[in-house]
Structure 1
Amino acid sequence: MTGLIAATTSAADKRIAFRAGLTSGKIQRFPGAINPLTAKLVQEIGFEGVYVSGGAFSAGLALPDIGLTTLTEVTAHSAQIARVTDLPVLVDADTGFGEPMSAARTVTILEDAGIAGLHLEDQINPKRCGHLDGKAIVGTDEMVRRLRAAVSARRDPNFVICARTDAAGIEGIDAAIDRATAYAEAGADLIFTEALYTTADFEKFRAAVDVPLLANMTEFGKSQLIPAQVLEKIGYNAVIYPVTTLRLAMGAIEKGLRVIHEEGTQETLLDEMQTRSRLYEVLEYERYNEFDSGIFNFTLDRRQ
């Protein structure tokens, strides 16, 4: 039964692994998982962690990323992902779903859900996608209150609280560096600067801030897509690929639906599909069958 239905690694051990990874000198790669099955693939392929993107989650609900999802929805979705993987899961918690007291509650709820860490951002609530123009941010003092509330609510000291700042695109990199310093002093374990443009921007930020840093390598945004090995050499500690799996999946789904609509059959698409046998392999179907057979190993007495 080990490893079936749910992962065997405890939430506490996942958080310890996340902490250790951030100080290991090896960049921690966190692809976004759009569902638990994707998280199982992320682990099998050999990544260090799993990310739950607010933008990808809201898109999956056919909603824009403007703060419409609730803490309850995000927690339920994230818990389903966390329970099937031995990897630490980092969750996008937007602005904490309300005022500082709400951010504090968000930490406790996600801790109870088995999550290894979350990030809170300094946008005005409701927020918008970090790679769009027209964002607005709260004052540094207000974000510091948000972070202090979150840190004070943490019960497991290894639960990672990451502070995201959207200031670079609004006030400039120097202002973002000042905010990052204040956020670290408020107790943030990891700093995520959204929408930097070039490798030089990432280098400047790394040189100025003496805390673990997370890079966002999202497609079709403002940031140059920098390879993980380059980010590691610069000195970044973690990198997320938040919406990549959703974009890959939706690209294939749209193409496939159009082919079926036009040709009346999916025959020409078979080579592009995950096979039944590969799906069953990822699901560990055979191990479930062995377990089921092992449990159901008695014979009913038909005379009774």
Structure 2
Amino acid sequence: MSISPSLGALLRYALNERRGLLVPGAGNALAARVIESLGFEAVYLSGAGLTNNYYALPDLGFISLSDIAQHTAAVRDAITLPLIVDADTGFGNALNVRQTVRTLERAGANAIQLEDQVMPKKCGHFAGKAVIEQGEMLGKIKAAVDARHSDDFLIIARTDARAIHGLDDALARAAAFAEAGADVTFVEAPTDLDELRRIAADLPCPQIVNVVIGGKTPSVPSAKFAEMGFGMVLYANAALQGAVRGMTNALAELRGKGELLEEPTLVATFEERQRLVQKSLFDQLEGRYAA
């Protein structure tokens, strides 16, 4: 399908404002539809969320480009918002990154995130990570920039070097990534507010802060991150963690009582569920196409 350049341009403009654009992550198309229905301005397709949702596995590099492309297309069909896609390490070297960019742009992404971890990657808030040499990552970024069809398809370059080599090295890497053509950079897993302030102040392009509930990065209100100058405040798996708690509470009620009623504090109503999957639209279409 064709990509609307206006969505990428809209995302670029919002990030350049450095107002702490609040972006939740989705692990599937239904979660993305919920995010849009609540008035958020963009959706992030989370690699961790996809791995957890569809394979019940931890974020340890188990998903493939085909997995991500399939779900990118499904989310693109479900929402009209800018879509940022977590492409992990790009699934190989610079040539693999080229194919990843071409595939995901065709599938409907408006931005992709690439990271400098060694394959197979790990969640940015896990211990035991390793990063590739800076020069190899620069080659990947250049390949990504060359491969994109639209200049409004954004390249987000993440570094996990903070946990391995310290913040100074991570900042130097991020600056080099921007010089190589990345539109946005992302220093993963800073551990205190002073580090966060340095990231937002010292780097030339818009920055992402990833707030992982229970993770290493301190959480403050998005307005505070905006004051620091962050372009995006990412809650990559808040929807997933909320869904797990909701499923657990609803099914525990069913297991304990042997019955589950339409209780709004435990389950969505039947009407709400049908609204989210656009049942009324398909009723109209069925009538239009009936013999």
- Tell me the TM-score normalised to structure 1 length: 0.90
Matched AA of 1:43: E
Equivalent of 2:215 in 221, 242, 267: 221
Separation in structure 2 between the aligned mates of residue 261 and residue 274 of structure 1, nearest angstrom: 18
- 2:26 is aligned to 33
Which aligned segments of 4 or more residues in structure 1 are displaced greater than 3 angstroms? 267-271
- 1:261 is aligned to 255
Pair 1:62 & 2:49 matched: no
- 1:42 is aligned to 35
- 1:160 is aligned to 154
Could you report, residue by residue, the CA deviation over 1:97-153 in whole angstroms, capped at 9, with x for unpaired residues?
111110111000000001011111111111111101111111111111111111111
Alpha-carbon offset, residue 38 of structure 1: 1.8
Separation in structure 1 between the aligned mates of residue 179 and residue 288 of structure 2, nearest angstrom: 55
Separation in structure 2 between the aligned mates of residue 48 and residue 270 of structure 1, nearest angstrom: 26
- 1:121 is aligned to 115
Alpha-carbon offset, residue 240 of structure 1: 1.3
- 1:19 is aligned to 12
Rate the CA distance shift 1:208–1:24 in 2: closer, same or farther, 3 A.
Answer: closer
Alpha-carbon offset, residue 281 of structure 1: 2.6
| Range moving further from structure 2, 146-155 or 20-29 | 20-29
Separation in structure 2 between the aligned mates of residue 73 and residue 162 of structure 1, nearest angstrom: 20
Q: Secondary structure at the match of 1:19?
A: helix
Alpha-carbon offset, residue 77 of structure 1: 1.0
Q: Is the CA contact 1:199–1:226 (under 8 Å) kept in the aligned structure 2?
A: no
Q: Secondary structure at the match of 1:91?
A: strand
Could you report, residue by residue, the CA deviation over 1:62-97 in whole angstroms, capped at 9, with x for unpaired residues?
122111111001110121011211111111111001
Matched AA of 2:26: A
Q: Secondary structure at the match of 1:219?
A: coil
Separation in structure 2 between the aligned mates of residue 63 and residue 242 of structure 1, nearest angstrom: 16
The runs of 5 or more residues in structure 1 that have no matched partner are 1-5, 299-304
- 2:138 is aligned to 144
Could you report, residue by residue, the CA deviation over 1:7-52 in whole angstroms, capped at 9, with x for unpaired residues?
xx95322112111211234332221112212212211211110011
Separation in structure 1 between the aligned mates of residue 265 and residue 220 of structure 2, nearest angstrom: 31
Matched AA of 2:66: T
Matched AA of 1:17: L
Equivalent of 1:191 in 177, 185, 190: 185
Pair 1:282 & 2:273 matched: no
Matched AA of 1:74: I
| Range moving further from structure 2, 272-281 or 117-126 | 272-281
- 1:109 is aligned to 103
The runs of 5 or more residues in structure 2 that have no matched partner are none
- 1:81 is aligned to 75
Q: Spell out the pairing of 1:193-212 with structure 2 (5 A cutoff).
A: 193-212=187-206
Alpha-carbon offset, residue 225 of structure 1: 1.1
C-alpha RMSD over aligned residues: 1.9
Alpha-carbon offset, residue 268 of structure 1: 8.5
Alpha-carbon offset, residue 207 of structure 1: 1.5
| Range moving further from structure 2, 275-284 or 112-121 | 275-284
Alpha-carbon offset, residue 270 of structure 1: 5.7
Matched AA of 1:48: E
Q: Is the CA contact 1:256–1:269 (under 8 Å) kept in the aligned structure 2?
A: no
Q: Is the CA contact 1:17–1:88 (under 8 Å) kept in the aligned structure 2?
A: yes
Could you report, residue by residue, the CA deviation over 1:246-295 in whole angstroms, capped at 9, with x for unpaired residues?
11111121232233233322248564211011222333333432343344
- Tell me the TM-score normalised to structure 2 length: 0.94
Larger radius of gyration: 1
Q: Secondary structure at the match of 1:191?
A: strand
Matched AA of 2:248: E
Separation in structure 1 between the aligned mates of residue 38 and residue 214 of structure 2, nearest angstrom: 25
Q: Secondary structure at the match of 1:48?
A: coil
